[in-house]
Structure 1
Amino acid sequence: MAILVSFVRRGALTLAAAFLLCSTVLPLRAQTVPLTQTVPLMLGAFPPEDVVPLAEGGTERALADLPAAIDSVLKRSGLPGAAIAVVQGDKTVFARGFGVRELGKPALIDTDTVFQLASLSKPIAATVVATQVTAGVVRWDDKVARLMPGFALNDAYVSANVTVGDLFSHRSGLPHAAGDTLEDIGFDRAAILERLRLLPLAPFRISYAYSNFGLTTGAEAVARASGQSWEDLSQKALYGPLGMTSTSSRYQDLLKHENRAVLHSLEDGRFTPLYTRDPDPQSPAGGVSSSVTDMAKWMKLVLANGRHDGRELIAPAALLPALRAQAFSSPAPTIGARSSFYGFGFNVSVDADGRPNLSHSGAFGTGAGTFVRFLPSADIAIVVLTNGAPVGAAEAIASHFMDIVQYGAPTRDWYALFHPRLMEYNDPAGDLVGKTAPAAPAAARPLADYVGTYENAYFGPARITQDQGGLVLALGPGTLSMKLTHWDADSFAVAPRSENAPYGSLSSVRFVVKAGKAVELKIDYLDTEGLATWTR
């Protein structure tokens, strides 16, 4: 987002970038400090005359105002609940839960309630990588092909040269949300990363597209260099040393917590607890679960430039590249507008008072909305975790708070600004949304003519079977199946419901018939990259 946030179109909703457009990016080596160079890397180390002074008493006023601000946004949004923490320096100065873990049940949210973080996992993943840069296991500019033999994308030069940093800043050329629909239909991480090579690429390092599985590829390469799984590495290198006892990069660990928030999707304008979301395939990009108590420990680490309990957990030179601009995430549309930037797993921007800030949103369309924001020059950060699909509430609460810290009062109604933009990410998918079936459709062929298995290199087989209710479409390696409803002639309709197909999605499934036999089918809602055609 041009103001603070990088939003993602589903996936980890994919929350991928409200307002993140293709843009020009600077090469990696032009943006990073050589790790052998000794330089002062103090967060907020810029001349004081370059920024507007903070409002006198602004932090105290913001903290006093925060409970009422949270209550207001939760009431306006209808969200079931939230947990919020604020840290200043090495102290947690605010931590509180609001509302319920699940609508219709009495259990309240508290500061130890564990939430799914969705894309808020990305800046955490960047700090995990920074621990390995500190340890000399990898560098941000290490080539992925060296760390992960057999890795390939759809271009030999890119395959040989793309780096960990390229993938953590979304400038590899992979398309937006690359691989997300493969996760929706049940493929695991290994299968998805292998199939990324089939996707068309935008220009390398001079384009930007938010990609959960691009970043996951970079993280997987680092994990392999460390000789352990990403999940184990995250625990050993970050969660354990920080004492983040409720935090994990494994979905099964979340399920062990009785005190956990339930996801609430937005169905016909109401939050409803209908779905679960196992994000293990994209764990580095969207699979962390945590509490605000634990997140406060991580925020203190970032504000302290990698120090924890008086010792250096992450070297400043390893952390700073993640915290400064590496890619244009949203270039200014006019000469009077501001651009937004992405670091390695962090959104990076400069506020109107000249103060740099770091942020990231996270969301699952199936029911989570999260946000973190750092203001390093004020040594303060806030995290907001909610248990409902993205509606702009988390971003509004944090932005309202930071306004008061900096300016002494809110500068605008942040919820009114964020809400309509975030609601776009709950829009249904498919070419038949909002359309009415033909009143007098052309007849279909005998249903048995469509039955069979159709092949696709990217999505895998599509299996059409017939039962008493008609045709059924099955996709992926698991149990995903959807009923087909006749629409017109050789076209049918399917109503998917997944992370990338919100409530109300409706898509065509069109068969091509030759010599009296169906030989091909195309599924519109999966055809973003032009790959959703199956051949019998």
Structure 2
Amino acid sequence: MNNALHLRTSPLSTRLSFFPLLVTALALTPALSQAQNAAPEITREKVERAVDALKHYGLGHKDAFTPPGIAIAIVYQDEVVATLVDGVRQVSQPEKIDSNTAFQLASVSKPLGATVMAKLISQGVQWKTATEAGKMGWDTPIQKLMPDFVLDSADVTHNVSSRITLGNLYSHRSGLPEHAGDDLEGLGRSRAEVIQRLRYIPGVGKNFEEKKYAYTNFGLTAAGVAAANAAGMSWEAASSSLLYKPLDMRNTSSLYTDFIHNPNHASGHVIRGGKWVFEKQRQPDAQSPAGGASSSVKDMAQWMRLYLADGKLGGKQYIPADALRELYSAHIDVSDEEKLAAKADASCDNAARYIYGWNACWNGKSVRLNHSGAFTMGASTVVTLLPREKLGIVVLTNSEPHGVAEALARGFIELAENDQLDARKRFPELFAEMKQKMDEAIRGVQTGILDPSSCPVHGPADVNLGRYIGTYANAYFGPFDVVRENAYLSVVMGRGKEDRFLLSPCRSNAQNGFDFYFEITGENAAGHELVQFAARNPDAPANKMIIPHLQVGELQRADK
């Protein structure tokens, strides 16, 4: 086991919770000269020219951040007008990407899964408790379907658990903080364990009453699982039987085992030493409705055709049109802060907000739907749909995110709307713009991460390590063991106590204790995190361990 913390399966950490929203905003924002109240006209000729430009100046652009493999599908007027592929499934291996290659979708799983939810709700699934019964809808409180679901168990004032609906959870307005539960997934906790422990996160009731938006994988996951269970199925079975199989999406699954055992799957890549390498595949089953689906561009084209044809495919109505439209047109009660942000967004003259699995942006008569996905262990994806124009594009890549997928999708949409743009100049501009904005956002989120060079103590010789050895715990995380490892301390954690990270000493603190730090690698890689120990007096054993950037990061000594 190396000395750096490696959270084995976690999604983007709380520290990187900006990421899905950042890349979505980048892909949504158009660079149009037309008046805002006039939706640009899109024609087949413009689409065809945009496809050619995408092929030559988008996929033709190569630099150090070009993913090892890229696959693109474009749908227009119920026709797959282009399938573009480039690169390899894994570096140093000869197998090429093709239209059937399965990629991990990351958070593009959300709009795909929202389609499953629309189908479930349209079927009139019934729920029943000991005292009442009803038909499932977006306004159904999740406790009607999952009675043991509780949030903010310590807050008796707001009592939100009985009021939070499927719609609240799917639109990220449940009161949960950003990426609640992701850290538990990273420690190997099961889906059921993560959902059960969400109740120990404080402040949810107040956030819910204030209608605060916060992007959460496990809030949405709980809603998807509860809805599928109400229909007598698991989420994975519901996705397969209600969407993937009827649409003949043969390389699509909501199970990691299907993806990894598919011989035609794309491995995730990261940059090490200036080169793309495959280290380890992300295993996202715990949050399958939010980030665990995998698919090919051929299959995703089928889904886009269904969506853009109001639920029809091949003349057959698979999902009622109203059920699909509700995913992006439902009224969402939002905070005043979010209303102001939408009003100030120059790219969306009417409103811009997250509804049910989609970011929706209105420009004049047209609505633009978008979602991005990202695993820092090697996935970057985006889908953009224009329902009025019947135009859609999906971009799948097998690399850590550097804005390439968003640049390709946005460049295509811009050119389809405005064929006067110079594609030879625009694509390089977009690649540079996306990369710069991503780098700026990452630097911003890393602000406050400990710089080891600022620590006056660089070795354990002057620290009484024995004061800190012991077990620390809280209801959310469970126990963390601090143990001696040669001349240093390590924290041992995880479901099977298999995760271990080395604590390097930094400085004395004002809490009669000492500050240490550890290095994060893997999906949560963000630098060095601070760990603080507190004691009642300078000579007493530590009675508290604090990891400030964890959502419930205060752990009490449990071995007194």
Fold-level similarity (TM above 0.5): yes
TM-fit CA distance, 1:232 = 0.8
Bigger shift: residues 231-240 or 198-207: 198-207
With structure 2 as the length reference, what TM-score do the two structures score? 0.82
Distance 1:62 1:10, change over 3 A: farther
Bigger shift: residues 89-98 or 11-20: 11-20
TM-fit CA distance, 1:214 = 1.1
CA distance in 1, matches of 2:241, 2:330: 28
Q: Does the 8 Å contact 2:23/2:372 carry over to 1?
A: no
In structure 1, the residue matched to 2:438 is: 422
TM-fit CA distance, 1:531 = 3.4
The amino acid across from 2:324 in the alignment is L
Instruction: List gaps (5 residues or longer) in structure 2.
Output: 1-10, 26-36, 126-135, 509-513
Q: Does 1:349 align with 2:368?
A: no
The 5 A counterparts of 1:268-279 are: 270-279=275-284
Q: Does the 8 Å contact 1:400/1:410 carry over to 2?
A: no
TM-fit CA distance, 1:358 = 0.8
CA distance in 1, matches of 2:62, 2:472: 47
In structure 2, the residue matched to 1:38 is: none
With structure 1 as the length reference, what TM-score do the two structures score? 0.86
CA distance in 1, matches of 2:45, 2:368: 20
CA distance in 2, matches of 1:335, 1:180: 31
In structure 2, the residue matched to 1:262 is: 267
TM-fit CA distance, 1:430 = 8.2
Q: Which residue of 477, 498, 517 maps to 2:495? A: 477
Q: Does the 8 Å contact 1:123/1:344 carry over to 2?
A: yes
The 5 A counterparts of 1:478-497 are: 478=496, 479-489=498-508, 490-497=514-521
Q: Does the 8 Å contact 2:361/2:368 carry over to 1?
A: yes
The amino acid across from 1:497 in the alignment is T
Q: Does the 8 Å contact 2:14/2:180 carry over to 1?
A: no
CA distance in 1, matches of 2:517, 2:217: 29
In structure 2, the residue matched to 1:520 is: 544
Distance 1:266 1:175, change over 3 A: farther
For residues 308-366 of structure 1, the C-alpha deviation after alignment (integer angstroms, 9 at most, x for no partner) is: 23222111122111022644668437757344211200111124x64211110000111
In structure 2, the residue matched to 1:39 is: none
Q: Does 1:181 align with 2:193?
A: no
In structure 2, the residue matched to 1:434 is: 451
Bigger shift: residues 307-316 or 396-405: 307-316
Q: Does the 8 Å contact 1:366/1:389 carry over to 2?
A: yes
TM-fit CA distance, 1:535 = 2.7
Q: Which residue of 77, 80, 83 maps to 1:92? A: 80
In structure 1, the residue matched to 2:148 is: 150
Q: Does the 8 Å contact 1:509/1:523 carry over to 2?
A: yes
Q: Which residue of 482, 486, 490 maps to 1:464? A: 482
CA distance in 1, matches of 2:269, 2:328: 32
CA distance in 2, matches of 1:278, 1:430: 28
State the percentage of identical aligned residues.
36
Q: Does 1:230 align with 2:235?
A: yes
Q: Does the 8 Å contact 1:9/1:18 carry over to 2?
A: no
CA distance in 1, matches of 2:379, 2:321: 32
In structure 2, the residue matched to 1:57 is: 45
CA distance in 2, matches of 1:234, 1:81: 26
TM-fit CA distance, 1:425 = 5.8
Query: What SS class does the counterpart of residue 521 from structure 2 fall into?
Result: coil
Q: Does the 8 Å contact 1:472/1:481 carry over to 2?
A: yes
The amino acid across from 1:347 in the alignment is N
Q: Does the 8 Å contact 1:266/1:367 carry over to 2?
A: no
Instruction: List gaps (5 residues or longer) in structure 1.
Output: 1-7, 22-48
CA distance in 2, matches of 1:477, 1:274: 22
CA distance in 2, matches of 1:145, 1:273: 42
The 5 A counterparts of 1:167-316 are: 167-199=169-201, 200-201=203-204, 202-204=207-209, 206-267=211-272, 270-316=275-321
In structure 2, the residue matched to 1:132 is: 120
In structure 1, the residue matched to 2:372 is: 361
TM-fit CA distance, 1:525 = 3.7
Distance 1:325 1:146, change over 3 A: closer
CA distance in 2, matches of 1:410, 1:11: 38
Q: Which residue of 381, 384, 387 maps to 1:370? A: 381
Q: Does the 8 Å contact 1:444/1:488 carry over to 2?
A: no
Query: What SS class does the counterpart of residue 104 from structure 1 fall into?
Result: coil
Distance 1:108 1:508, change over 3 A: same
* Number of matched pairs: 497
Q: Does 1:332 align with 2:341?
A: yes
Bigger shift: residues 102-111 or 223-232: 102-111
Q: Does the 8 Å contact 1:186/1:480 carry over to 2?
A: no
CA distance in 2, matches of 1:510, 1:406: 54
Distance 1:18 1:410, change over 3 A: same
Query: What SS class does the counterpart of residue 141 from structure 1 fall into?
Result: coil
Q: Does the 8 Å contact 1:57/1:408 carry over to 2?
A: no
Distance 1:444 1:518, change over 3 A: farther
Query: What SS class does the counterpart of residue 432 from structure 2 fall into?
Result: helix
For residues 185-231 of structure 1, the C-alpha deviation after alignment (integer angstroms, 9 at most, x for no partner) is: 21111111111112222133622111111111111110111111111
In structure 2, the residue matched to 1:384 is: 395
Bigger shift: residues 243-252 or 148-157: 148-157
Q: Does 1:118 align with 2:106?
A: yes
CA distance in 1, matches of 2:44, 2:312: 28
Distance 1:278 1:326, change over 3 A: farther
CA distance in 1, matches of 2:23, 2:392: 23
TM-fit CA distance, 1:20 = 9.0
For residues 20-49 of structure 1, the C-alpha deviation after alignment (integer angstroms, 9 at most, x for no partner) is: 99xxxxxxxxxxxxxxxxxxxxxxxxxxx9
CA distance in 2, matches of 1:163, 1:261: 36
Bigger shift: residues 153-162 or 175-184: 153-162
Distance 1:76 1:58, change over 3 A: farther
Distance 1:280 1:198, change over 3 A: same
Q: Does the 8 Å contact 2:149/2:161 carry over to 1?
A: yes
Q: Does 1:17 align with 2:21?
A: yes
Distance 1:324 1:400, change over 3 A: same
Bigger shift: residues 179-188 or 118-127: 179-188
Bigger shift: residues 485-494 or 252-261: 485-494
Query: What SS class does the counterpart of residue 178 from structure 1 fall into?
Result: coil
